């Protein structure tokens, strides 16, 4: 994949991911307004977290991180990639049908694993009920991820990137229809709203897998279910995927520790979830786009022995990641309170919820660049089918996160979960970078990256000062009814224009490069 096509792929995935994240944010704003941070909201959020936790092992995490490089190399080498993909599709489906059945039976244990602080409260029974409805989503989303990997490896990004949009459209539809049917007040109606959301989860999964299955069929890869068989290639896939199960899902596992801590503080599960949505917006747009496009491209280049091309792809991915996420991190820290207040504070979500959520947003924001850099560093390992070292790094990260989140919670309460997540993110980046030192030139930062990074940081800090002053000036407008939306929009525009203006002047980047890539 040429650098221009590589960057075009980043922006294709990024734009669709942006649409998905924006709709996801609308979804969470509606959930906050209808359910606030009460028992139904927390029970549903935990139930929905369970299939999303395991999808990082079976889907975007372990399985795809092992499958995509093997599939890409078969494509590059002219081998039977179609048969390999078909065998993997059947094998994954068989494993997940068995796994889902066991999980549904053992749902009380899974909820306790995720949020033991719920035990003995109504939140626990609701989470078990919602979890049994929602959990089959893991089957559909994992098959969707495999099909997306096939499409991405062949240079087709649109359908795979657009599929998550369906999830949020179906969620929003369920919220609107249930709200119109029963209203949003009273605990009974809130329970009904929670049930509607739970049923929307597997329905959305079916819609997603249908979309990418159709796209894969049109691309010449019509996947079909059948009798699973263990071929030598699938054995190798399983051997590679086993250690990647932890490495690829380290962020989610760390969030699991955070949710356990949060479950002992009323409302904290919801506060952290709503904060997570805000920092996941830039993380998803940049980090997922980089990871999805970079992994198959690096795999092909390594197969072809193109070290120079691999180094350029890695450096440009790292450069654009930090150029977009460092200013986003600064903004999340500087204007966390007005962001949460304007976007969430309505209905059942009050000012106390705003204060608690804003603090979590600021802490998560500090870790944002690290979460994205993991997406650019991990493909260096996975493209070489090296999943063992990321596995060892993940073990270190898990121990550190648990020590921070659990150890600090008696001192600083629920926010210890966010502190642990962000600090662990940076520790993981340092470990991945340290481990990549002996990978040759493909893993080294070139002179352009080294020259631009300090200027990106400087432009971001200057933008932060501008935002802080602007937020102080606009403070009255940010509290005035409908005018607060325009005030927040003005604040965002000020931040964007000041960052890109300052960055262009001091040479942090060239605006013409962004324009050219967006145009292509």
Structure confidence at residue 409 (pLDDT): 92
Q: What is the mean pLDDT of residues 42-70?
A: 76
Neighbours of 230 (CB within 10 A): 10
Confidence of residue 520 (pLDDT cuts 50, 70, 90): very low
Confidence of residue 290 (pLDDT cuts 50, 70, 90): low
**pLDDT beyond 50 at 4:** no
Lowest mean pLDDT among 11-15, 195-199, 226-230: 11-15
Separation between Cα atoms, residue 368 and residue 42, nearest integer Å: 24
- Tell me the percentage of the chain whose pLDDT exceeds 70: 83
Query: Which ranges of 106-231 would DSSP assign to H, the alpha helix?
Result: 107-114, 122-134, 137-153, 158-182, 187-218
Lowest mean pLDDT among 73-77, 84-88, 173-177: 73-77
**pLDDT beyond 50 at 75:** yes
More confident residue, 410 or 293: 410
Separation between Cα atoms, residue 148 and residue 153, nearest integer Å: 8
Q: What is the mean pLDDT of residues 303-324?
A: 77
347, containing H or E segment: none
Separation between Cα atoms, residue 94 and residue 89, nearest integer Å: 9
320, containing H or E segment: helix 307-334
Structure confidence at residue 251 (pLDDT): 57
Spatial CB neighbours of 258, under 8 Å, sequence gap ≥ 6:
272, 401, 405, 417, 418, 420, 421
Q: What is the mean pLDDT of residues 345-370?
A: 91
Separation between Cα atoms, residue 115 and residue 123, nearest integer Å: 10
Give the residue among 329, 431, 421, 321 at the shortest CA–CA distance from 376.
321
Tell me the per-residue pLDDT of 392-402, one tens digit each, with 9 for 90 and over.
888 888 889 99
Structure confidence at residue 1 (pLDDT): 47
Among 174-178, 435-439, 472-476, top mean pLDDT goes to 472-476
Among 141-155, 195-209, 219-233, top mean pLDDT goes to 195-209
Query: Which ranges of 383-482 would DSSP assign to H, the alpha helix?
Result: 388-412, 415-435, 447-473
Compute CA distances 489 → 104, 259, 343, 470, whole Å: 44, 32, 11, 12
Task: For the chain, give every domain's residue range.
Answer: 3-445, 452-520
**pLDDT beyond 80 at 435:** yes
482, containing H or E segment: none
Separation between Cα atoms, residue 295 and residue 291, nearest integer Å: 6
Structure confidence at residue 300 (pLDDT): 65
Confidence of residue 2 (pLDDT cuts 50, 70, 90): very low
Which residue has tokens 């369970």? 50
Two tokens, residue 3:
């650098």
Q: What is the mean pLDDT of residues 438-442?
A: 72
Structure confidence at residue 159 (pLDDT): 77
Separation between Cα atoms, residue 237 and residue 69, nearest integer Å: 10
**pLDDT beyond 50 at 48:** yes
- Tell me the percentage of the chain whose pLDDT exceeds 90: 34
More confident residue, 370 or 302: 370
Structure confidence at residue 234 (pLDDT): 79
pTM metric for this prediction: 0.72
Confidence of residue 493 (pLDDT cuts 50, 70, 90): very high
496, containing H or E segment: helix 483-506
Separation between Cα atoms, residue 40 and residue 130, nearest integer Å: 10
DSSP E strand stretches across 329-412: none
R_g (Cα) of the chain, nearest Å? 22
Mean pLDDT of the chain: 83
Give CA torsion, residues 271, 277, 282, 284, to 10 deg.
140
More confident residue, 155 or 227: 227
Q: Helix 158-182 crosses helix 187-218 at what angle (to 10 degrees)?
A: 160
More confident residue, 55 or 113: 113
The HSE-up count of residue 395 (CA atoms within 13 Å, CB side) is 7
The HSE-up count of residue 454 (CA atoms within 13 Å, CB side) is 3
Tell me the per-residue pLDDT of 128-185, one tens digit each, with 9 for 90 and over.
999 999 999 999 988 888 888 888 777 777 777 788 888 889 999 998 888 887 755 5
Confidence of residue 213 (pLDDT cuts 50, 70, 90): very high
């Amino acid at each position: 994949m040429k650098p221009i096509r590589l960057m075009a792929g980043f922006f294709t995935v990024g734009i669709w991911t942006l649409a998905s994240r924006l709709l996801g944010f609308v979804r969470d704003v509606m959930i906050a307004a209808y359910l606030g941070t009460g028992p139904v909201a927390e029970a549903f959020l935990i139930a929905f977290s369970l299939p999303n936790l395991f999808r990082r092992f079976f889907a975007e995490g372990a399985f795809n991180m092992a499958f995509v490089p093997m599939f890409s190399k078969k494509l590059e080498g002219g081998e039977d990639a179609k048969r390999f993909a078909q065998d993997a599709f059947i094998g994954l489906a068989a494993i997940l049908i068995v796994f889902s059945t066991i999980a549904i039976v053992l749902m009380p244990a899974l909820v306790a694993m995720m949020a033991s602080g719920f035990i003995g409260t109504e939140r626990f029974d609701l989470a078990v009920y919602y979890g049994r409805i929602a959990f089959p989503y893991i089957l559909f989303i994992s098959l969707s991820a495999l099909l997306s990997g096939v499409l991405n490896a062949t240079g087709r990004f649109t359908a795979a990137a657009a599929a998550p949009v369906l999830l949020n459209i179906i969620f929003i539809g369920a919220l609107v229809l249930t709200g119109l049917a029963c209203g949003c007040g009273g605990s009974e109606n809130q329970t009904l709203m929670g049930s509607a959301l739970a049923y929307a989860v597997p329905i959305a999964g079916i819609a997603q897998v249908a979309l990418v299955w159709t796209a894969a069929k049109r691309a010449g890869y019509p996947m079909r279910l059948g009798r699973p068989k263990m071929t030598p290639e699938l054995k190798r896939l399983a051997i590679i995927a086993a250690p990647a199960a932890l490495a690829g899902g380290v962020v989610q596992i760390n969030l699991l520790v955070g949710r356990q801590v949060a479950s002992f503080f009323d409302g904290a599960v919801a506060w952290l979830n709503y904060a997570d949505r805000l920092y996941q917006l830039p993380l998803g747009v940049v980090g997922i786009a980089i990871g999805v496009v970079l992994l198959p491209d690096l795999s092909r280049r390594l197969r072809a022995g193109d070290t120079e091309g691999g180094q350029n792809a890695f450096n440009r991915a790292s450069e654009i990641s930090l150029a977009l996420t460092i200013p986003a991190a600064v903004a999340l820290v500087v204007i966390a309170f007005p962001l949460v207040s304007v976007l969430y504070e309505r209905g059942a979500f009050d000012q106390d919820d705003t204060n608690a959520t804003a603090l979590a947003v600021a802490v998560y924001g500090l870790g944002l660049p690290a979460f994205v850099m993991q997406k650019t560093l991990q493909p260096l390992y996975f493209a070489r089918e090296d999943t063992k070292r990321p596995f060892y790094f993940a073990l270190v990260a898990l121990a550190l996160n648990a020590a921070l989140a659990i150890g600090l919670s008696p001192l600083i309460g629920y926010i210890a979960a966010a502190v642990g997540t962000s600090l662990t993110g940076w520790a993981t980046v340092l470990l991945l970078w340290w481990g990549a030192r002996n990978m040759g030139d493909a893993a080294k930062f070139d002179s352009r990256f080294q020259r631009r990074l300090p200027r990106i940081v400087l432009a971001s800090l200057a933008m932060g000062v501008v935002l802080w002053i602007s937020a102080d000036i606009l403070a009255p407008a940010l509290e005035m009814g409908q005018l607060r939306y325009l005030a927040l929009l003005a604040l965002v525009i000020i931040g964007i224009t000041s960052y890109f203006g300052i960055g262009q002047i001091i040479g942090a980047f060239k605006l013409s490069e962004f324009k050219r890539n967006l145009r292509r």
